[in-house]
Amino acid sequence: MSYETIKYEVKEGIGTITINRPDVLNALNMQVLAEMLATIVTAASDAEVKVLVITGAGRSFIAGADIAQMGEFGTQDGLQFGDLGHAMLMALETMDKPVIAAVNGFALGGGTEVSLGCDFIYASTRARFGQPEVSLGIIPGFGGTQRLARTVGMNKARELVYTGAIIDAQEARRIGLVAEVFEPDELMDKVREKANLLMSNGPLAIAAAKRVMNKGVDLPLDSALELEKQAFSALFGTEDQTEGMAAFVAKRKAVFTRK
């Protein structure tokens, strides 16, 4: 498909979505969200894609929402914008493939929220994170009040959301938002290394782990453990489990077929 606001490519099992509006620091508008959603749905159903990476063109990941567009919104427009953002992030969060945010620069407002919808966040030393929406008289609208608290804890999330503070990559790593920080010219190579490591493991197992961890985090422990037990046992009925264990015994590399 042809897109105007993003670039999408698939190479060696890695699908990469690049938000491509560098002149406005990759700000999110309705078109960007719609094109991202369509691409995520495509990647989720494409057997060639094993891992999805999201990054930004130029010096920004996503510097937030397009204020020029949002400034004209009424209540219904805001609801439509929020609905589209939530749909896009839910598609990311529920796809049964791992998703990596390669945060190369500003990840403010919607940028932080998009990164929170991914399984892992790897950041450049130039990256900056924050939820500065209160300075505009609004609150985060794409899950920032919820996913951020679940990632860094309620107290730190309150501080970031209420103050609108912007933090650097090292501070984001310290509070548990970012997994690792790399130099700018190393970021994409390191992300590809991480993607290749993920692709060496059983895809059905990763999908099950993602599903159980995402659903279980909000359940009582006994219910979450039951969810884990059921997913664990179900994997013993797969060809990938047979292959993985046979390869381990034979001391060879497993060849998984997602079956």
4: its two tokens: 């105007």
Decide if 226 is catalytic. no
Residue 68 — very low, low, confident or very high, per pLDDT cuts 50/70/90? confident
CATH class of 203-250: mainly alpha
> How far apart, in whole angstroms, are the C-alpha atoms of residue 197 and residue 41?
23
Q: Where are the domains of the chain?
A: 6-199, 203-250
pLDDT grade for 180, boundaries at 50, 70 and 90: very high
User: What's the rounded mean pLDDT across residues 15-34?
Assistant: 96
CATH topology of domain 6-199: 2-enoyl-CoA Hydratase; Chain A, domain 1 (3.90.226)
Average pLDDT for residues 82-102, to the nearest whole number? 97
User: Does residue 186 register a pLDDT over 90?
Assistant: yes
Rounded to whole angstroms, the Cα distance separating 157 from 134 reads 13
Start-end of H helices in 131-238: 144-152, 154-163, 169-174, 187-199, 203-216, 221-234
Percent with pLDDT over 70 in the chain: 100
CA distance linking residue 33 with residue 41, whole number of Å? 12
| Model confidence pLDDT, tens digit, residues 164-173 | 999 999 999 9
Rounded-to-integer distance, Cα 243 and Cα 220, Å: 34
Out of 113, 193, 228, 239, the active site residue is 113
**φ, ψ at 4 (rounded to 5°):** -100, -25
Render pLDDT for 94-110 as a digit per residue (tens, 0 to 9).
Answer: 999 999 999 999 999 99
C-alpha triplet 120, 121, 123: angle, nearest 5°: 150
Active-site residue 133, yes or no?
Answer: yes
Provide the 10 A C-beta neighbour count for residue 94: 14
> 230 Cβ partners below 8 Å, 6+ apart?
none
Which one is catalytic: 72, 133, 193, 226? 133
- Would the CATH topology of 6-199 be identical to that of 203-250? no
Token duo for residue 52: 């999805």
Nearest-angstrom CA–CA distance, 22 and 147: 26
